[in-house]
A and B are shown apart, each in its own frame.
Chain A
């Protein structure tokens, strides 16, 4: 099950956050900070999967944006990895050649998508 979806840039600014588990705001900030730290320094040659607390973060980097999905340990990693790509393709299609700014100014539209 997907626990949350995060879109963050390299500086760690959250561009989109969607939580499917009830978290307090302070907890959300902590999670976003930790996930960012976890993925931002990983070498591109590394796996797209990294353990996060008792779950697993599947992430993918598109230009300066990190798309991270937090899923169960037992979930099929590659399937979720392609979910991210599918989502990106949809964004690309929607904004025709999407870039970070599109997401910033149209965050309210992005929210409709997932």
Chain B
């Protein structure tokens, strides 16, 4: 019809189509644009028909992808044309060319408004369509009220009202603050009584948007929705034109069920019953049919019904019916249905307790992970990620790792992120977590974001038990010929920080570590070099006694980079070089990195941030949030993902056996008790009693304090003072937890570690972490306890009591009674050492979490060796002093036989960690080690202590 009247347009289109190449097409288009532009310029001569034609041409050119930067004015001006043909063109072209941010639209607002409130139905429709398509703020401000009037007007035909409903929906979605919907609940309820399905469908769309914002106001609509659903399901009073392949308007069914998902429950029993009847009918009555369209439409309804059933917490029976259906779907060939099966199963995980049933399908889901279609693979990955918990984490993560090597690039990053998160969340043990991440980096280094390796470093730093393991692993990976740069970064960092922990193992000497890290140096980019430099500096610092050769090598590297163009590298090189010449102060500056504050994993945050924007908030998510908030009130610690809380220990395990043997519990101790040599001790007790005493003694094995207290400055002090003090203290009943909260990590090991270090974690359980940081000066010490609440709820009745032994004076500052969620409280603690003793102070700590009262008694690492200060003694001083002491109690000697001797450098290291200065070369016999230190207490002041360790190789044992 109109085609004949638009010859110029079809000629132009044919011309463009006949162009041989892009160049010709551009020429033709440019010519036409020039033509249109000149025509528009002398507008007076343009008839409405011509104007219409040129505007169409312009739109066509625009659709081809060319820039059209003029003519908007003409298009908008056509809107105000009096006749339909021009007005229609004006509306359509405006809707295509302009969006809500264009200023030109202001020009049209008045005309549009006149058309809306006018009497001409077709004009009303055109105007409503334009507003519905564009929906800007200014339109909403000036037109919403008029549109609302049209929607509920009784004099308008359904045609206009359904457009008004959609137009209002659009305005409301975009600017809910501008569109006033107060009191609309009644109107919506009225609209839902509408017999005309067109108006009903549009109104239902509007209702979905309204209830998603505020369901409270629309309770009155709920029974009407159920009625509508019944009407459709029973096929009552449905005109032919709203039946799609024999199904009464599937779209309206879907929308109605969508709206129902925004109401938390259906309370009225009658409504609930009829709703479930309908749902049951849909669940049971949907069969697979040959006709694709009919099949799709019926399954669209079915999947929405599934979602609604899940939401309504139906009876067990119906629920398992749903899971069974989904189980069937994820195994079918038809890709769409399988896709939706996987997707809905993932949604199901978020709302109901069906993990166990879903886990049965794990194998099937893993098959889908290998499907050729990326859409299906993604859904399978999401589902696996969602269904993962402690029980199946190992399998799933290993499956993901395996798949990683063959996965296509589009998915690798997501895959590695998810594997990393799962490994962190559900790690059965931490070393496994380290394994997974290192494998991840090894297999897909390019796709492992920095966050992932930062996180593993954080973990290793915060968990002492993990440090040597991680260092060993990192060392293994460095042996590989070609490794990813990220691996170089992690390994260099970890080995620099913790490599010295393994210094006793073959292949882990500072020199060897340096060599193997430095081998990778030529292959890395500038972002890695700073990490390497730090690592070298740390290795240098841990090399005790210094090795001149290694030192020179590292210094050469620092020197080389001092003039590097990269500022970061230059600065590090220059600073490390200067620092490494400072000797002892290097130790403090390059000391081990402090722990990271506990924080939410950046990875999980990243995964959460990846949420999408949708017009209506997802009903599932709304619900999940509601569940979360109630969960917090009942102090249920179960996260929504179904990760079980720490396994609780029953009353039977109330009494925990304190650490028993010196040998197994205190690795540092081994070195001293078992070298095949002699340790001179000043221990007041006979040596043989030492170990037995540990096993049998009571809480206070206080040796005669006078022994040391009376000792003159020249007393040889035993090297083993500190560890044996620790051993004695092992008998403190630490493990007496009440309630069912189990500590994370071994309390004894944490304590032993803290005897050697000045900061670390003293205690941790699912609710709280107690960190400690200490500074010691002579006979005084200042400890700070960091009480960190790990929960999103407060911890109450917090009490901390210090039970000091007689030789220590301790003052704890006030501990607040409650610790707010996710907060950390610092409590300083002053310590003063009055006289030497091996007793240990105990912190009696308790708090209440929900109904559970937790009480723990923790030993505080204020042990003897903390009051030592290294001192260097010259040979002239040492031997006279040594000889002047004659036997117990001031001089003690112990011979340990039949054990593997500890290599001397390690022994020296050990002495150093106990703050005993090894004086090399003092004893002419190279197998002997001589060390000295000063002990501080208030009564004794500074007291010189000397240690000599001699190694005798007994020929008989060889």
Contact = CB atoms under 8 A, between A and B. Distances in A.
- Physical interaction between A and B: yes
Interface of A: 1, 13-20, 22-23, 25, 29, 32, 42-43, 45-51, 54-55, 72-79, 81-83, 85-86, 104-109, 111-112
A76 B258 contact: yes
A14 B64 CA distance: 7
B233 interface: no
B304 A76 contact: yes
Given A51-B378, A82-B244, A46 B373 contact: yes
A109 B372 CA distance: 39
A69 to B, nearest CB: 13
Contact of A18 (B96, B619, B620): B96
Contact of A49 (B17, B339, B612, B615): B339
Instruction: List 8 tightest A-B contacts by C-beta distance, closest first.
Output: A1-B615, A78-B300, A22-B99, A54-B612, A72-B614, A46-B373, A79-B300, A47-B335
Contacts of B378: 51
A19 B378 CA distance: 27
B331 to A, nearest CB: 15
28 contacts: A1-B615, A14-B65, A20-B170, A46-B335, A47-B375, A48-B336, A50-B374, A72-B614, A77-B339, A77-B340, A78-B296, A78-B299, A78-B336, A78-B340, A79-B254, A79-B297, A79-B300, A81-B336, A82-B251, A86-B244, A104-B17, A105-B13, A106-B3, A107-B60, A107-B63, A108-B9, A111-B92, A112-B88
Interface string B75-108: 0000000000000110010001001110000000
B10 interface: yes
A73 B297 contact: no
B173 A1 contact: yes
A19 B99 contact: yes
Given A23-B99, A112-B92, A46 B173 contact: no
B753 interface: no
Contacts of A104: 13, 17
B250 interface: yes
A68 to B, nearest CB: 14
A19 B610 CA distance: 24
Contacts of B268: none
B63 A105 contact: no
Contact of B373 (A25, A47, A76, A81): A47
B133 interface: yes
Residue of B13, B101, B338, B375 contacting most chain A CB atoms (<10 Å): B375
Contacts of B619: 74
Interface in B291-307: 293, 296-297, 299-300, 303-304
Contacts of B101: 22
Given A51-B375, A51-B378, A1 B293 contact: no
Nearest to B293: A85
A79 B251 contact: yes
B66 to A, nearest CB: 10
A82 B300 contact: yes
B376 interface: yes
B67 interface: yes
Nearest to B209: A1
B59 A108 contact: yes
B617 to A, nearest CB: 9
B612 A82 contact: no
Given A22-B136, A73-B614, 10 more contacts: A23-B99, A46-B335, A46-B376, A49-B339, A72-B616, A76-B304, A77-B340, A81-B300, A106-B3, A107-B63
B164 to A, nearest CB: 17
Given A25-B67, A82-B244, A72 B254 contact: no
Contacts of A42: 373
B56 interface: yes
A18 to B, nearest CB: 7
B615 to A, nearest CB: 3
B315 interface: no
B88 A49 contact: no
B615 A72 contact: yes
B548 to A, nearest CB: 59
Contacts of A19: 99
Residue of B6, B59, B100, B615 contacting most chain A CB atoms (<10 Å): B615
Contacts of A20: 133, 170
Contact of A76 (B100, B254, B336, B376): B254
B250 A82 contact: yes
B563 interface: no
Contacts of A73: 612, 614
A109 B300 contact: no
A14 B296 CA distance: 27
Residue of A1, A29, A74, A86 contacting most chain B CB atoms (<10 Å): A74
B758 to A, nearest CB: 48
A66 to B, nearest CB: 16
A108 B101 CA distance: 24
Interface in B568-623: 610, 612-616, 618-620
Interface string B725-755: 0000000000000000000000000000000
Nearest to B14: A105
A36 to B, nearest CB: 12
B303 to A, nearest CB: 7
Residue of A1, A13, A14, A82 contacting most chain B CB atoms (<10 Å): A82
Interface in B240-297: 244, 250-251, 254, 258, 293, 296-297
Contacts of B254: 76, 79
A98 B96 CA distance: 23
A50 B304 CA distance: 19
B2 interface: yes
A43 B372 contact: yes
Interface string B836-849: 00000000000000
Nearest to B251: A79
A45 B336 CA distance: 9
A1 B64 CA distance: 26
B500 to A, nearest CB: 47
Contact of A17 (B63, B300, B340, B620): B63
A77 B89 CA distance: 33
Contact of B614 (A45, A74, A79): A74
